[in-house]
């Protein structure tokens, strides 16, 4: 009888623990969406793992950046248990998400936590270069100040300059060129930054890049 009661108590405690965990899971992601740092902090103090992933495999830090939940982001980053290099299924890091959002403050805070500026594959600089705002330009500058490799090659050989040429602002293209980005590089399809600009009819950017190539290679033909 005593053993049976003990088993019942253990089973009851286990079920209660499971229910509490399930509730905490829902509360955690709801708090991120609502930008509720107090609930997040309380959950983390009770031992909830800040690196828990949602049903889509995203960690809270990335979700906070996606939803622009700045207070939730700060609450998560304040925990030393939070892994700033957690990647999603697309190998995107929180720093990459902050870069594509043009979130200068988040980029600074993540770098202070030693987030990887030069991860392999697609990098935060690729993402910053794809943006068209002054904030994206500031992020690109901040990444380079922290030793980001300016000609980083993605898995298919695409560089940040190529991304800027098709998607980013003309100011980011100029900035990368001024900082030493190589406009003569080709990706695995044999395309240069000029080709990236031309395929979306960005004639002024293409001309800017062609001029940069001629400066590097005075005997280069027309583009």
Which class does domain 88-223 fall in?
A: mainly alpha
Instruction: List the one residue out of 29, 23, 22 whose CA is nearest residue 50.
Output: 29
The CATH number of 1-83 is 1.25.40
Per-residue model confidence as pLDDT tens digits over 52-61: 999 999 999 9
Contact 183, 152 (CB under 8 A): no
Provide the pLDDT confidence category of residue 216 given band limits of 50, 70 and 90.
confident
Per-residue model confidence as pLDDT tens digits over 148-166: 999 999 999 999 999 999 9
The residue whose two tokens read 């030493």 is 180
The Cα–Cα gap between 90 and 88 comes to 5
The Cα–Cα gap between 145 and 74 comes to 23
Q: What's the predicted TM-score (pTM) here?
A: 0.87
Cite the residue boundaries of each domain of the chain with CATH code 1.25.40.20: 88-223
Provide the pLDDT confidence category of residue 4 given band limits of 50, 70 and 90.
low
Give the pLDDT score at 137.
98
| DSSP annotation string for the chain | -HHHHHHHHHHHHHHHHHHHHHHHHHHHHHHHHTT-HHHHHHHHHTT--TT-B-TTS-BHHHHHHHTT-HHHHHHHHTSTT--TT---TT---HHHHHHHHT-HHHHHHHHHTT--TT-SSS-HHHHHHT--SHHHHHHHHHHHHTT--TT---TT---HHHHHHHTS-HHHHHHHHHTT--TT---TTS--HHHHHHTTT-HHHHHHHHHHHHHH-TT----
CA dihedral 57, 62, 67, 73 (to 10 degrees): 130
Per-residue model confidence as pLDDT tens digits over 80-105: 999 999 999 899 999 999 999 999 99
């Amino acid at each position: 009888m005593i053993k049976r009661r003990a088993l019942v108590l253990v089973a009851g405690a286990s079920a209660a623990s499971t229910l509490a965990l399930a509730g905490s899971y829902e509360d955690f992601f709801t708090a991120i969406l609502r930008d509720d740092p107090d609930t997040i902090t309380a959950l983390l103090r009770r031992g909830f793992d800040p690196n828990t992933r949602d049903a889509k495999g995203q960690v809270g830090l990335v979700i906070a950046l996606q939803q622009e939940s700045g207070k939730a982001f700060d609450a998560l980053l304040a925990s030393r248990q939070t892994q700033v290099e957690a990647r999603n299924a697309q190998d995107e890091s929180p720093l990459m998400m902050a870069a594509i959002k043009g979130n200068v403050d988040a980029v600074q805070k993540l770098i202070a936590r030693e987030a990887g500026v030069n991860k392999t594959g697609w990098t935060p600089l690729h993402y910053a270069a794809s943006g068209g705002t002054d904030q994206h330009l500031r992020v690109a500058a901040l990444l380079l100040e922290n030793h980001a490799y300016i000609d980083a090659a993605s898995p298919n050989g695409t560089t940040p300059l190529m991304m800027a040429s098709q998607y980013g602002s003309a100011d980011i293209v100029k900035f990368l060129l001024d900082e030493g980005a190589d406009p003569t590089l080709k990706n695995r399809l044999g395309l240069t930054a000029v080709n990236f600009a031309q395929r979306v009819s960005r004639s002024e950017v293409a001309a800017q890049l062609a001029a940069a190539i001629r400066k590097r290679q005075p005997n280069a033909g027309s583009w």
